[in-house]
Structure 1
Amino acid sequence: MDDTNQYLNNFITYLQIEKNYSEYTVTFYKDDIREFFSFMNEQNLHSLSEIEYFDARLFLTGLHEKRLARASISRKISSIRSFFRFLNREKLIIENPFALVSSPKSEKRLPEFFYEEEMENLLQACEGHKPIQVRNRAMFELFYATGIRVSECAGLRIKDIDFSLSTVLVKGKGSKERYVPFGTFAHEALEQYINISRGQLMKNGEHEFVFVNYKGGPLTARGMRHVLNTIIKDASLNGKIHPHMLRHTFATHLLNNGADLRTVQELLGHENLSSTQIYTHVTKDHLRRTYLNHHPRA
C-alpha cells in the first residue's frame, strides 16, 4: 500500500483547492478513507487497483455490523466513492468499485432547533462587557440573524459587512456568494464588537477576519464550536449545541412567522429547494401543536 497515502494527499488537495471544502468537511473525508485503508489491511489488499465491487460490499456489511447510524454509513460510502471517482478521473484505476454500492436511505430526521424562549436564555448567557463576552454576543447574534454556516462565519472579513445596508456578503459552498441581511440586534452587537472589543483582542495584530480569538488570531470553526458549547453551558440548557442548530433555528423561526420557502432557500444558500423543504415538517408540527393548544374543538 505504498501509494495509498500519496493518493489520499492528492485527493485532499483536490477537495481543498478545486472543491473549496471547509477544513471540517475535509477531515471527515480523510477519516472515512483512512477507515477504508484499515479495512484493506485487514483483508490483505495491497493496492487500490485491486479493489472490486465485492470488497466494497464487504466493507459496507462491516459498517452495518458496527450498528452505525444510517447517516454515518451514507457519508462514509459517499466519501470513499468520491475518492475512487477521483482516482478514476486521474486514470489511476480503471473502474470505481463503489459506483454501484447503494447507500442506506437516510432517516427522515427533523432538524433540531431552539424555541424562542431558549434563544432568549442563550442570548442572556452572552451578556457582559469583557471583550470576549462582547465578541461572543456579536457572533451568536450573527448566527441567529443570518443562519450562516460556521465555516462561512469563520471566513468572514471586515469588508464583507456593510453596516449602511445591514447586510453581510457570505462566501458559501463552492465559492458561491450571497448577500444576507441582519437585523438591529445583530447590527448593534457587531458594531460594538468591531469598533471597540475587536481591537482590544487583536493586541496590535493585523488581519481582516471579523472574529478573533483571545490571542488576536482568527477564530477558527473549531473555536466557534467551543464558544457555542460554553454558551449553552452558561445558559443551563441540557445537551450540546452545534452551529447547525442555530441555522435550523433561523430557518424555522422565519417560516413560523410567515416567510416563504423560496426566500429562506436563498438566505440559507441552498442550491435545491428540496434541501429547504425539510423545515416545512417542523413548521407543520408547530402549526399542529398551536391548533391543538388553542382551538376550542381540538
Structure 2
Amino acid sequence: MEKRIIKVHNKSDKPDNIVQKENEIIEKCITIENNLPTFMKDFFIYLRNGVALSTRFAYLQDIFFFCKYLISQTNISKAVNTKDISLEEFNCIKAKDINRFLGDYCTRYTINEKNSIIIMENHNRSLARKKSSLTVLFKFLFRDELISENITDGLNPIRLPKPQPDAIKKLEIDEVAKMLDIVETGNGLTKKELVYWEKTKLRDKAILVLFVTYGLRLKELQQLNVSSFNFGRGDFKIYRKRGKEVNMPLNKSVEKVILDYIQLERVSDEQVPEKHKDALFLSLQKTRMTEKSIRQLVKKYSSLALGTTKENGYSPHKLRATAATSLIQNGFSIYDVQNLLDHDNVTTTQLYAAHKKNVKREIVNKFEWLEEYDKKNSPI
C-alpha cells in the first residue's frame, strides 16, 4: 500500500518544519498508546498536556517495554497482547516486581532476530529513566484511584554518578581556532573530502561558528530557517525545549558567516524542493540537513583539530560545552551563560565554571597574606 503524505495545517507561529517534526513524534506516541491498555487513557491525556513532547514519547516507550515484559517474562498477566493487560492484573504488581524488572531484566536482556541474537545492556542512567517513567505512571494510577496502593515508595534507589568538571569534554580556545582554520582552508582533509568541502565550506563554517558562539543544541541548529534571521534587527529566532521561542542576538562574526553562506554558496530557492525552500542548511541533495549529517560534520572537523580519528571527534553537544566554558573563561557570569544556553538549573552551568583551567592557582596567587607578595599593595 502506498504511504500517505501527512500534511499539517499550521495556525501557530512556529515554522512548518518544526510543526511537521513534532507531528511525526505525536504520530509515534499515538501508535504506542493504541497498543497499551485502555485504562491508561487518562494518563495519556496527562502526558499530552503535562510534559514535553520528547518526554512523553520516552515515557510511552518505557511503559510499552514494561508491558511486553509483563507478558513475556512474568506470570502477572495472562494477556497475549499488551493492549489486553487488565487493570486487575496491574493492581497485582508490587514494588518488588518493578525492582526485578529494573535491577535484573533490564540490565541485560537478549533480542532474537532472524539470523542473530542481540545482547542489550542498560546502565544506571537508562535504568533511572525507566524507573522515572514507571514511577510517574503508578503515581498517576494511584492518584486516580485506579490502583489501591502507591508502590513507588518501595522502589530501589538507582545511584547515578555525580558529574565531575574534569570529565567534561570540550575544545580549548586554540583548538576552536584550529578547527575554524581547517574549515576555511581545507588543510588535513582527504582528496575525496576536499571535493565536497569545495561545495560546502561556507555552510560548514557557519554551522561550526553558530555552535561555538551560542552553544546551540543540535536540534535547535538543524531546525533553523532562512526566515529565522532578521538581519535588519540583528537577531534570529530559535525554538528550544518545551517549545520555548527565543530571539538570539547576532554578533558581527555570526552575521558574516551566515550571509556569506546564503549569498555565495547556498543554492537559489528555485532549485530547492518546496518542502525545503526555507531550510537554512541544505545538503548537496538540496534538502534540509539531517541531525545525523550535522553530527558527522562536527565530528570530522573537531577530530582534525584534536589530531584524532573521526570516531573520537567531538559531538555538537561538546561544542555546547566548549561555548559555555569559553564564555566563563572570558569573564561572563554563570547566570549570563545559564540564560544564553537555556540551562534549567544553574548547577549545570556551575560545572563549566568549575572546569576553568588553573582556577585554584589564580585564586591563591591573587590572595597573598605577606605584604611583599601582595600585588594589591605593590607601588604603582
Q: Same fold (TM over 0.5)?
A: yes
SS at match of 1:126: helix
Tell which deviates more after alignment, 152-161 or 10-19.
Answer: 10-19
1:107 alignment partner AA: K
1:222-258 per-residue CA deviation (whole Å, 9 max, x = no partner) reads 3321222232344433523211101111110000110
Superimposed CA distance per residue, residues 22-51 of structure 1 (whole angstroms, 9 cap, x where no aligned partner): 5xx777556644553454322244337253
1:161 positional shift? 1.7
Q: Give the aligned partner of residue 215 of structure 1.
A: 285
Mapped to 2, the partners of 1:209 and 1:96 lie a distance apart of 48
**Distance between the aligned counterparts of 2:53 and 2:99, measured in 1?**
28
Q: For residues 269 and 132 of structure 1, what CA distance do their matches in structure 2 show? A: 30
- Of residues 284, 288, 297, the one that matches 2:360 is 288
Tell me, yes or no, if the aligned pair for 1:256 and 1:286 is still in contact at 8 Å: no
Q: 1:213 to 1:107 in 2, by over 3 A?
A: same
Q: Does the 8 Å CA contact 1:201/1:213 hold for their aligned counterparts?
A: no
Q: Which amino acid aligns with 1:274?
A: T
Which residue number in structure 2 is paired with residue 43 of structure 1?
Answer: 74
User: Compared with structure 1, are the counterparts of its residues 122 and 78 closer, same or farther at alpha carbon in structure 2 (3 Å cutoff)?
Assistant: farther
- Which one of 111, 124, 135 corresponds to residue 70 of structure 1? 124
* CA distance 1:223–1:252, change in 2 (3 Å): same
| Structure 1 Cα separation of the partners of residues 149 and 283 of structure 2 | 46
Q: How does 1:108-257 map to 2 (within 5 A)?
A: 108-110=163-165, 111-127=168-184, 130-199=198-267, 203-206=271-274, 207-235=277-305, 236-238=307-309, 239-257=312-330
Equivalent pairs counted in the alignment come to 292
Gaps of 5+ in 2: 1-31, 78-84, 109-120, 187-196, 368-372, 374-380
Q: Higher mean Cα deviation, 235-244 or 265-274?
A: 235-244
Matched AA of 1:121 = K
- More divergent stretch after superposition (63-72 vs 34-43): 63-72
Distance 1:130 1:93 in 2: 63
Is 1:104 matched with 2:159?
yes
Whether 1:21 and 2:53 are equivalent positions in the alignment is yes
Alpha-carbon offset, residue 69 of structure 1: 4.1
CA 1:85/1:62 → structure 2, altered by over 3 Å: closer, same or farther?
same
Which amino acid in the other structure matches residue 322 of structure 2? T
Answering whether residue 127 of structure 2 is matched by residue 59 of structure 1, we say no
Q: Name the stretch that deviates more: 44-53 or 225-234.
A: 44-53
Say which structure, 1 or 2, has more relative contact order (CA 8 Å, 6+ apart).
1
CA apart distance, 1:219:
1.9
Pair 1:54–1:265, CA change in 2 (3 A): same
Aligned-residue offset at 1:56: 1.4
**Residue matched to 1:268:** 341
Identify if the C-alpha distance between structure 1 residues 141 and 273 changes in structure 2 by more than 3 Å, giving closer, same or farther: same
The answer to whether the 8 Å contact 2:303/2:314 transfers is no
Using the alignment, how far apart are the partners of 2:281 and 2:344 within structure 1?
A: 27
Q: Deviations over 1:160-210 (max 9, x none)?
A: 223234432221111112222343332211111122322259833233222
Q: Does the aligned pair in 1 maintain the 2:216–2:341 contact within 8 Å?
A: yes
Which shifted more, 60-69 or 134-143? Answer: 60-69
- Paired residue secondary structure (1:277): helix
**Aligned equivalents of 2:308 and 2:250: distance in 1?**
26
Distance change (3 Å), C-alpha of 1:293 and 1:260: closer
Deviation of the 1:109 alpha carbon: 2.9
Q: TM-score, normalised by structure 1?
A: 0.78
Q: Aligned Cα RMSD in Å?
A: 3.9
SS at match of 1:170: strand
Q: Is this contact kept in 2: 1:254–1:264, CA < 8 A? A: yes
2:107 and 2:123 in contact (8 A); partners too: no
Aligned to 1:156, the other structure's residue is in SS state coil
Alignment check: 8 A CA contact 1:201 1:214 kept:
no
Aligned identity (percent) is 25
